[in-house]
Amino acid sequence: MARELPGEEQAVKQPTQEEIAQRAYQVFVERGRPEGRDLEHWLEAEAQLKLAMQQKAASPSARTTRPSTRQQASRRA
C-alpha cells in the first residue's frame, strides 16, 4: 500500500480556468449542445481534468528518481 506524504495531494497541479472552459465546451458539444446546463458541464470538465492530472502525477513514468543509463555514462566521461 502506498503511503501518502503530508501535502502530497496539494502538490498536484490544478487545471486552469481556461483548461476547464475548453473541456466544458467539449462536454457541451459531446452531449448535443443542451442549453442551460453550463454549471453541470463546468463541474464535469473540472472533475475530469483533476482526475487526469492526479493519474498523471501518480504514474511511475511521471516520477524520475534516478538518471537514465545514458545520463550516468555521460557523467563518468
pTM to 2 decimals? 0.63
Please provide the distance, in angstroms rounded to a whole number, between the alpha carbons at the two ends of the chain. 40
Can you give the pLDDT at residue 59? 83
Residue 44's Cβ-count burial label (10 Å; 0-12, 13-18, 19+) is middle
Specify whether the CB–CB gap between 21 and 29 falls below 8 A.
Answer: no
pLDDT digits (tens, 9 = 90+) for 53-65: 999 888 877 555 5
Q: pLDDT band at 6, cuts 50/70/90?
A: low
3 state SS of 20: helix
Give phi and psi for 74, each to the nearest 5: -70, -30
Summarize the confidence of residues 6-22 as an average pLDDT: 79
